[in-house]
Chain A
Amino acid sequence: MTETKKTPYSLGIDIGSTTAKVVLTKNGTVVFEKYERHMSQVRQKTLELLGQIEPYITDNEFTVALSGSAGLGLAEAAGIPFVQEVFATGELVKELCPDTSAVIELGGEDAKIIFFDGGTDERMNGTCAGGTGAFIDQMATLLDVTADEMDELSLKHSKTYPIASRCGVFAKTDIQPLLNQGARKEDVAASIYQAVVNQTIAGLAQGRKIKPKVLFLGGPLYYCQGLRDRFRETLGFSEEDSPCPEYARFAVALGAAIYAARVGHTTTIGNLIDSVNKNINVGTVSGRLPALFDSEEEYREFSERHKRASVKEQNISAYSGNAYLGIDCGSTTTKIVLLSEDKKILYSFYDSNRGNPVEIVKAQLEKIYSLTGDRIKICGSAVTGYGEELIKHAFGVDLGIVETIAHYTAAKYFMPDVDFILDIGGQDIKCFKIKNGAIDSIMLNEACSSGCGSFIETFAKSMGYSIDEFAKRGLFSKAPVNLGSRCTVFMNSSVKQSQRDGATVEDISAGLSVSVVKNAIYKVIRAASASELGEHIVVQGGTFYNDAVLRAFELELSRNVIRPAIAGLMGAYGAALCSMKLEQSSIITPDALKDFSHTSKSTVCRGCTNNCHLTVNIFSGGEKFISGNQCEKGLGITNASEPLPNLHAFKRDYFSSLESRDGARGTIGIPLALGMYELLPLWHTLFSELGFKVVVSDLSTKRTYEKGQFSIPSDTACYPAKIMHGHIEELAEKGVDAIFYPCLTYNIDEKYSDNHYNCPVVAYYSELLNGNMDTLANTKFLYPYLNINNKRELVRELMAYLNENLGSFKRSEISRAVKKAFAKYDEYMSAVKREGESAIDYARAQGKRIMILAGRPYHIDPEIGHGIDKLAASLGFVVVSEDSVYHLAEPARVAVLNQWTYHARLYRAARFAAENADVQLVQLVSFGCGVDAITTDEVRTILESSGKFYTQIKIDEITNLGAVKIRLRSLIGALEQ
């Protein structure tokens, strides 16, 4: 290659995570441009595109530069100058559109914002928020439409649902149940875009104001009108304020071409093709995983072994008599089984929901009725899965069965001495241990591990393969890639890395299978060896149809397992078995089915401040089914019976009822968030006594979060911390004189743990607020470092601080206020304990189940806890909190450093549950709570050591309670065995 010669031609190549773009310019004018998906064949696609350029450039020399995350490796290998893509975009915009204030560019994997005014600032999304374009693609697959169709749908929306915008996994967790509850695809499509918008603005702008003129760049924004609309509406911009130029898709490539001209590295097309070609197979195979099968022979043995696990079938047209119907309306697929009297399969169905399970079940019932005619009578029917209630109401299905029970029933029928079941479905991973014929422990994935199963399928589709084909290719990969196991967003971005290293589709397919399996074993089950599982392991769920997944699981455990031939149908099979106790079915008649119709509309419940988004399904005959509600109010049921004791509600009421009196010294605002959920009585009293009017922010709603979300600098912080920003905004709006939230390294010392720290976030979040919230520039923010374990010391500290910041105070009055403040705090803590005891007495007298809904004090917030306490109460539990019962047991022995006040209570409450047969503990864990990575294992150990179930619910911004309900009902189901 020769260098630094003058040439009018310049070539920019941009290889992103999903697409490859080339732009050839002559004297700055575009001569050729191309935008194509590379389906992970990075080098091949590059060669193909270069081939297409050849006629335009012929033998002329040109300058060249490469950009894009997947182009990094290629540039190195082929010796082409590389320019970082955001930098390239920035350079382009400075040249083409110098009056731009900011650029929003979305790619397949990364989202970027560039600010120009006031010093260029180029930003890319954090690790967690990866996958914008890829996410939209996956969501389209979920809706069973193309990306273009999804865009069209979104334009016809009438409302948007709140969808978690932290990441693709969380968003999907919110979207999936919406679809299953019958939400309109138009509304869901727009909501998906809105989630992308919120994530981009909150995660990237982080409080920096986006001002016009904004340029929209990148493929997704170029192609999706609906996405642009969402951005414009959210930012309040017109089309002139925020154009999406014709070159939007090619911005990076164009920027690279400009860069190329500047660097002046020249070559000819022949040379360039040669150097790319030469490096086409230079993949690094270091860090790869062992092959799934060493030989065809091994695979044959494996297949033969698993073929033995089949079920008897019977030809439906040759059968007459009674039959039983099982439906499993899962998150992504619907499964149906019709059983004969002797439990043979007469009919089965397994397919994607296509975003509308009601239609699927309707069509299947029609088909079944046409096959059964008058010969076969359906005597019983049962439904399980996410769509259980919807389908039950729609078609008059007799029984609703908890998923765990349905799966266990099926597995037991299949293998009577089964002692471990692992089910990997589309959305969830469920594992249960069986002891003495009953479910002994249940492990369900938390939010981050969701969607592993369906991820393989959507990924396969995005690469242009059917799932079968994709799985098959993985079987004989020589060197599967290691894609990690944190979550599908991370896996997706690991694929990008592997593309850079030249991984093949085979290697990626096998790698994904291993990742899903590792996620199940090390994250959900938390097992280090096969012996921790059991002797007789049954694996099921649609994902296990994939032989690569099955093989990876056996290899990881070094143990053979049983996969029933009907692995994907097990839920439906189990449901059908459960319905065999019935004699007369109430299921919709063939005649009624002909007239069956279904419409759905969405509305917002005004029953309380939660403002739940309801989906109202109306079926022919006027039958209604409402979902999305967090309590009974949304169903139009007013509480007829006396509500069960609920400590979460008691504590909320206590905080709301703290009275403020007018104060001569002004107003002090206190945000009701994080540690204030316990110390409010203390500080409230202190400032009231000192002559201030205390203004407390309201209990949170989604709106509270939205109000403050744009100043959050760290998107992986926990939701309880992030919502704090909204509380501060609210207080500032209320016009208080000062806002108070102290820094407390040490929490209250209850004198039985190793130490009494707060977690770093609770302790120092004020520092972050002060640094990031522009609002606080206009309101005095008080966040002194205080010691609340020594009254005299506290008086000294307050004396110094208050006199410096709030006016003039006498030691005696501070001293008196501190005394009263602690008296109030003690009164509050005693009231909580007293109330906890009486709730337990009540439950025991009335024969109710007791649930310690345990977490941190701030988990009682209605928006943070998402009303899970009410849900539990509606399921018949008397709900108590960890701080209302921990005093009823001795301090628990734990294998870790017991150094945080809140967590020490948690362990003790767990011990109380372990010691009392009628008490269950459900642990609420906020996403991002690093400390809970330590506590969850300990709490689980405490509970399981005395044969208790451990249930963990990971909560975040996600609003849909579908998954939570399944967890709680699984618990009830297991208790009722």
Chain B
Amino acid sequence: MEKTYISFTEEMKKDYTVLIPNMLPMHFELIRRVMKNYGLHAELLQTQGQKIKDTGLKYVHNDTCYPAILVIGQFIDALESGKYDPHKVALILFQTGGGCRASNYINLLRKALAKAGYAYVPVISFSLAGIEDHPGFKLSVPMLHRLMYAIFYADLLMSLRNQCRTYELRKGESEELALAWTERLSKEMKHEKKLSYKRVKENYRLIIKDFKDIPRVEKKCPKVGIVGEIFVKYSPLGNNNLEEFLVSEGAEVVVPGLLDFCLYCLYNYLMDTKLYGIGKAKEPILKLAYKFLLGKQRDLIDIINEDGNFDPPTPFDHTVSLISGYLGIGAKMGEGWLLTAEMLELADKGVPNIVCTQPFGCLPNHICGKGMMKPIKEKNPNINIVAIDYDAGATAVNQENRIKLMLANSK
């Protein structure tokens, strides 16, 4: 097939700045640093504000999902900001593929770039499927290894920060600690030739200890879980700083980690084989990878439990088991069954208050989000879910008012 995109070349790697959209602040910061260790001048976009939406609306079909409008808007806004030489910039987009329209983000981004006069800006598709050819951006095994631990680390940091944040005596301390650890971990990964798992586990323990030492008040706060479409679930840009809002309302925020999503993607490949007989050749190795990650998650859970001060993540195989009776495991577009499973997972671990976030008109969420509320409520009468739509035209006051209603009823 004819190549229709611009490759990111070895040459470009020398002096190009690679921009990363702000989807998962903590995870992407760590990932950025890992990339930097491998010679990429990566920068995580921290821009906020109305201008991003406006730029997105200008260059993307307005009925496209909100995350596309934001991601593309943030990129073009950065190119137009004058802060960078557009001829020395590349963009990176994380792709999972699948039947959701989100698989088209990269194409929509390229179309928008052309429309805005930046057709020459290379876009790197970061995908484990690795369909595109970008010689300047090759995922080597040691790099992948580090990226994997970056996800584990960031999930842990995010979770502990959330568990401390609402109770900290000095405002901002948890966040600062998480950031300090992000820096320390990335430095460490750079200097160590070989990443020792023993060291990783040691780090888990040190991180837990540090968070434990943050002076906190004892108070009873409602726990509020956040689930939803991956971008609006995690990105403060996408969800109008939802986590911060919940904390300011006195809630403890519980956000399932990114590892769940990665495992979900892997699991779907296995299900394609099981349900449809597709991809039999790759099955053994994917199965191995799944088991491998599951084991790593188990280790992390054990270490958190060993300390006993914090809530660990739910083992993924348990999360999977929760959806039986609600939704088929084959519903795999977008966040698919994982969305339903995460609501059940939260309820299962005593977090009955949930904000289910979705971009306005999100197709998979009709089914796996809003479509599952009724059965979830029927079988878990104690649950308290509010579905919030995010959109360029949706108002924060409407969203906050609904969240306040959920909080007023919180358990």
Chain A residues packing against B (C-beta within 8 Å): 69-70, 72-73, 82-87, 109-110, 118-122, 124, 126-128, 130, 206-208, 287, 448, 482, 484-487, 490-491, 493-494, 496-497, 500, 518, 522-523, 526, 528, 713-714, 716-717, 721, 743, 745-746, 755, 757-761, 763-765, 767-768, 771-772, 783, 785-787, 790, 793, 796-797, 895-897, 899-900, 928, 930-934, 936-937
Contacts of B92 in A (CB 8 A): none
Contact, CB under 8 Å: B328 / A767: yes
Nearest chain B CB to A401's CB is how many angstroms away? 31
Complex Cα–Cα for A765 and B372 (A)? 11
- Across the A-B interface, give the 6 residue pairs with the lowest CB-CB distance, nearest first: A484-B393, A486-B393, A757-B99, A768-B371, A787-B276, A933-B63
CB atoms of A772 and B371 under 8 A apart: yes
Which of B103-111, B134-142, B285-293, B312-320 forms contacts with chain A?
Answer: B103-111
List the B residue with the shortest CB-CB distance to A489. Answer: B393
Bitwise, B387-400 to A at CB < 8 A (1) or not (0) is 10101111111101
Q: Which chain A residue lies CB-closest to B59?
A: A528
Q: Given A771-B326, A930-B361, is A72 in contact with B107 using a C-beta cutoff of 8 Å?
A: no
Surface stretch bound by A, among B146-154, B193-201, B204-212, B373-381? B373-381
User: Given the complex of chains A and B, what is the CA–CA distance between A120 and B98 in angstroms?
Assistant: 39
B76 to A, closest residue via Cβ: A528
A-B contact pairs, 29 of them (CB 8 A): A84-B401, A84-B407, A120-B409, A121-B377, A124-B401, A126-B389, A128-B360, A130-B398, A207-B374, A482-B50, A484-B393, A486-B393, A494-B393, A528-B116, A713-B374, A716-B366, A745-B99, A755-B99, A760-B363, A760-B367, A761-B363, A763-B331, A765-B367, A771-B371, A772-B371, A787-B277, A931-B363, A937-B61, A937-B111
Docked-complex contact B391 and A486, CB < 8 angstroms: yes
Residues of B within 8 A of A528 (CB): 58-59, 115-116
Looking at the complex, which one of A86, A767, A772 makes contact with B331 (CB distance below 8 Å)? A767
In the complex, A496→B395 CA distance in Å? 8
Contact pick for B398, options A497, A716, A930, CB 8 Å: A497
Hey, which chain A residues are within 8 Å of B405, CB to CB? 84, 86-87, 122, 124
In the complex where A484-B392, A772-B374 touch, is A930 in contact with B331 (Cβ < 8 A)?
no
Q: A716-B366, A759-B363 are in contact. List 13 more A-B contacts (CB 8 A).
A: A69-B397, A486-B391, A486-B393, A755-B99, A758-B99, A763-B99, A768-B366, A787-B275, A895-B110, A895-B111, A896-B111, A931-B363, A933-B63
B window 332-355: CB within 8 A of A: 332-334
| Residues on the B chain within 8 Å of A743, using CB | 328, 330-331
B371 A713 Cβ-Cβ under 8 A: yes
Interface contact B331-A497, CB-CB below 8 Å: no
Q: Does B49 touch A at the CB level, under 8 Å?
A: yes
A70 to B275 alpha-carbon distance, docked (Å): 51
Interface contact A746-B393, CB-CB below 8 Å = no
Which of A82, A713, A760, A934 touches B64 (beta carbons < 8 Å)?
A934
Asked whether any CB of chain A lies closer than 8 Å to the CB of B404, the reply is yes
**In-complex Cβ contact of B397 among A118, A484, A497 (8 A):** A497
* Closest chain B residue to A933, Cβ basis: B63
Check if B278 is an interface residue, CB within 8 A of chain A. Answer: yes
Distance between A608 CB and nearest chain B CB, rounded to angstroms: 32
Taking CB atoms, residues of chain B closer than 8 Å to A796 are: 277
Decide: A124 and B333 in contact? CB cutoff 8 A: no
Interface check B41, CB cutoff 8 A: no
Candidate in A73, A485, A528 with the most chain B CB atoms within 10 angstroms? A528
- The reply to whether the CB of B408 lies closer than 8 angstroms to some CB of chain A is yes
CA distance A122 to B377 in the complex (A): 12
Give the distance to chain B from A900, nearest Cβ to Cβ, in Å: 7
Once bound together, how far apart are the Cα atoms of A883 and B103, in whole Å? 24
Q: Which residue in B58, B107, B331, B387 is a CB contact (below 8 Å) of A764?
A: B331
B361 touches A928 (CB 8 A): yes
A935 CA / B404 CA spacing, docked (Å)? 38
* A residues less than 8 Å from B365 (CB atoms): 714
A880 to B391, CA, bound (A): 37
Write the chain A residue with the least CB distance to B360: A127
**Any chain A CB within 8 A of the CB of B270?**
no
The answer to the question of B100 belonging to the interface, with a C-beta cut-off of 8 Å to chain A, is: yes
CB distance from A206 to the nearest CB of B (A): 7
Q: How far is the CB of A117 from chain B (nearest CB, A)?
A: 12
Across-interface contacts of A797 in B (CB, < 8 A):
275-276
A808 CB → nearest B CB, Å: 23
A900 and B367 form a contact (CB under 8 A): no
Does B370 sit at the interface, judged by CB under 8 A?
yes
Complex-state Cα separation, A86 to B111, whole angstroms: 44
Q: Which of B210-267 contact A (CB under 8 A)?
A: none
Beyond A69-B401, A84-B404, A518-B57, whether A900 also contacts B99 by CB under 8 A is yes
B62 touches A485 (CB 8 A): yes
Bound-complex Cα distance A109 to B397 (A): 12
> B374 touching A785 by the CB < 8 A rule?
no
Given A69-B401, A490-B393, A746-B276, verify A287-B371 contact (CB < 8 Å). no
Residues of A close to B156: CB separation below 8 A: none
Contacting pair B62 A486 (CB below 8 A): yes
B11 to chain A, nearest CB (A): 26
B190 within 8 A of A: no
Question: Which of A127, A500, A717, A765 is within 8 Å of B394, CB to CB?
Answer: A127
Chain B residues within 8 Å of A206, by CB? 374
Q: Kindly state whether residue B364 has any CB partner on chain A within 8 Å.
A: yes
Q: Within 8 Å CB of B373, what residues of A?
A: 713
Chain A residues whose CB sits within 8 angstroms of the CB of B296 once the complex forms: none
- Which residue of the partner chain, among B362, B381, B408, contacts A930 with CB atoms under 8 Å? B362
Q: Does B101 contact A (CB under 8 A)?
A: yes
Rounded to whole Å, the gap between the CB of B230 and the closest CB of chain A is 15
A529 CA / B264 CA spacing, docked (Å):
42
Which residues of chain B have C-beta atoms less than 8 A from A895's C-beta?
Answer: 4, 107, 110-111
Complex: A522 Cα to B104 Cα, angstroms:
20
**If A490-B391, A497-B395 touch, does A785 touch B108 (CB 8 Å cutoff)?**
no
The answer to whether B65 has its CB under 8 Å from any CB of chain A is: yes
| B303 is an interface residue with CB less than 8 A from chain A | no
Cα distance A447–B124 when bound, in Å? 37
Complex CA distance for A786 and B394, rounded to whole angstroms? 38
Complex alpha-carbon distance, A761 and B107, angstroms: 22
Contacts of B389 in A (CB 8 A): 126-128, 716
CB nearest neighbor in B for A932: B63
Q: Is the CB of B277 within 8 A of A793?
A: yes
Contacts of A82 in B (CB 8 A): 404
Tell me the bound Cα distance from A414 to B396 in angstroms.
45
- Chain A neighbourhood of B277, CB < 8 A: 787, 790, 793, 796
Q: What is the CB-to-nearest-CB distance from B379 to chain A, in angstroms, rounded to a whole number?
A: 10
Chain B residues, CB < 8 A from A930? 63-65, 101, 361-363
Decide if B374 touches A761 in the complex (CB within 8 Å).
Answer: no
Q: Could you tell me the distance between the alpha carbons of A642 and B164 in the complex, rounded to whole angstroms?
A: 77
How far apart are B29's CB and chain A's nearest CB, in angstroms?
25
Q: Is B13 an interface residue (CB 8 A)?
A: no
**A897 B398 Cβ-Cβ under 8 A:** no
* Chain A residues within an 8 Å CB radius of B278: 787
A72, A745, A768: the one within 8 Å of B332 (CB): A745
Tell me whether B45 is interfacial, beta carbon within 8 Å.
no
Q: Report the Cα distance A486→B392, complex, angstroms.
A: 8
When distances are taken between beta carbons in the complex, the residues of chain B under 8 Å from A124 are: 401-402, 405
Once the chains are docked, how many angstroms separate the CA of A126 from the CA of B390? 11
Distance (whole angstroms) from the CB of A71 to the closest CB of chain B: 10
Roughly how many angstroms separate A787 CA and B275 CA in the complex, as a whole number? 8
Q: Provided the pairs A497-B395, A895-B110 are in contact, do residues A767 and B327 lie with their beta carbons within 8 angstroms?
A: yes
Return chain A residues, CB-CB under 8 Å to B381.
118-119
Given contacts A785-B275, A785-B330, contact A934 B61 (CB under 8 A): yes
Chain B 88-137 residues near chain A, CB threshold 8 A: 98-101, 103-104, 107-108, 110-111, 115-116
Q: Evaluate contact between A522 and B57: CB separation under 8 angstroms.
A: yes
Q: Tell me the nearest residue of chain B to A928, going by C-beta.
A: B361
CB distance from B388 to the nearest CB of A (A): 9
Q: How far is the CA of A528 from the CA of B113 in the complex (A)?
A: 11
Tell me the bound Cα distance from A734 to B277 in angstroms.
36
